A = this chain, B = another copy of it.
Amino acid sequence: MRSCIEKLLQSVEKALPILCLRKVFQMGDTRNTELNKQVTIKDIAKKAGVSQATVGRVIGGYGSVSSKAKEKVLKVVKELNYVPNSIAQSMKNKRTKTIGVVVGRFGNPFFSEIVNAIEVAGAKLGYNVIISNTDEDPKKELECLKTLYSKQIDGIIIATTLSPDTVLDAASKKFYSGSIPTVYIDRELPFLQELCVLTDNYFGAYKATEYLIEKGHRNIGIIAGTNTSTMHRRIEGYKRALMDNNIEPQEKFIRFGEKATVEEGRQFTSDLLINNQDMTAMFALNNQLVTGMLKAINDMKLSIPTDLSVVGWDDFELAQIVNPPLTMVTQDTEKIGTVATEKLIEIIHSKDVESNALGERRIVFNAHLIIRESCADRKVEWI
């Protein structure tokens, strides 16, 4: 039964018959011929026996053209398979119909869902999307913005890695505010006037913490990461919920990482568990941290929720079918992406017309607490 490799190789070869190779070489002939060279408006004009302007009118659908000129042009357009050169168009009319998206890491499902929504919403309105990873590094972020700027994108959607207390020099500020339509997502810089589309992080964290408190937990660990408004607000919500219930927040229950990675989540969790025997619940503040947390708990052979109650942030499809199903705070990534895109494009268009700005400063969506089975009641005899 083992090592049927020879058989395998045979069938692999069979699957791609030699015939294809021949075909391929024939096709090679079409390379670097007319098909390959850009067909321009000039070519159309020459072949149709009209002026470039007339071709432009037909293609652009403005001015007036005699029906037979139009017909001729359209015929040649089809014949030559003409596709307009957007670069030349952009050169002329100063818009590229392209927007830039700048996030920490595209592989992060939270961002990839948002970017997916951005692409879909953008495509619907005729815009393409250029993506850029910053790896949560402010220097890289600035580089990305410069590149996008030089590519003359019409607008930017950014989940900035800058912390809310950053001080920007004038040269950098140009790339963050005022010179090009920009919408911030997920994280906001309070010193900028640009629109920000995000989730109510404070309230989401508040609700989740309150829920754990209602279950009788008082020593609740929390792991966070990235020095952003988003994480700050979540921590604030957590602390506030504790205080509103007469529990003093303690730093020993809080871990705050650099980049909020899976590995940080793992380390922080085992760290918290080892150093706080009295901790009965934990809250991980993003999807990567949740994964890390679950790994650590798994490694330590603890069971949820018997040994530890657990709440995560950023729901994922499998959260409802793992054992036990996880209680999670969720945000609507699709909505964030869609609304950010639609607003950005509104701003872009309004700029065409008059000044700009919709006056909106922030659009905030609710975070939802989805209660499943990862939190146990804690009997509190000693209260």
Contacts and interface: CB of A to CB of B under 8 A. Distances in A.
A383 interface: no
B128 A151 contact: yes
Interface of A: 1-2, 4, 7-8, 11-12, 15-17, 20, 23-25, 27-28, 30-32, 35-36, 81, 83-88, 90-91, 96, 98, 105-107, 109, 112-113, 115-116, 119-120, 123, 128-133, 146-152, 171, 174, 177-179, 190-193, 202-203, 206, 210, 213-214, 233, 236, 240, 244-245, 262, 291, 294-295, 298, 317-318, 321-323, 355-356
A291 B320 CA distance: 11
Nearest to A364: B12
Nearest to A33: B178
Given A20-B190, A91-B88, A120-B133, A245 B1 contact: yes
Given A150-B85, A298-B321, A178 B112 contact: no
Contact of A119 (B17, B35, B133, B291): B133
B129 A131 contact: yes
Given A202-B12, A318-B322, A178 B116 contact: no
Contacts of A214: 1
B130 A130 contact: yes
A261 to B, nearest CB: 11
27 contacts: A15-B202, A15-B233, A23-B191, A24-B192, A27-B193, A28-B178, A31-B178, A31-B355, A81-B171, A86-B150, A86-B152, A87-B152, A91-B91, A98-B130, A98-B151, A105-B116, A107-B116, A112-B116, A119-B131, A123-B132, A128-B130, A129-B130, A130-B130, A294-B318, A295-B317, A318-B322, A322-B322
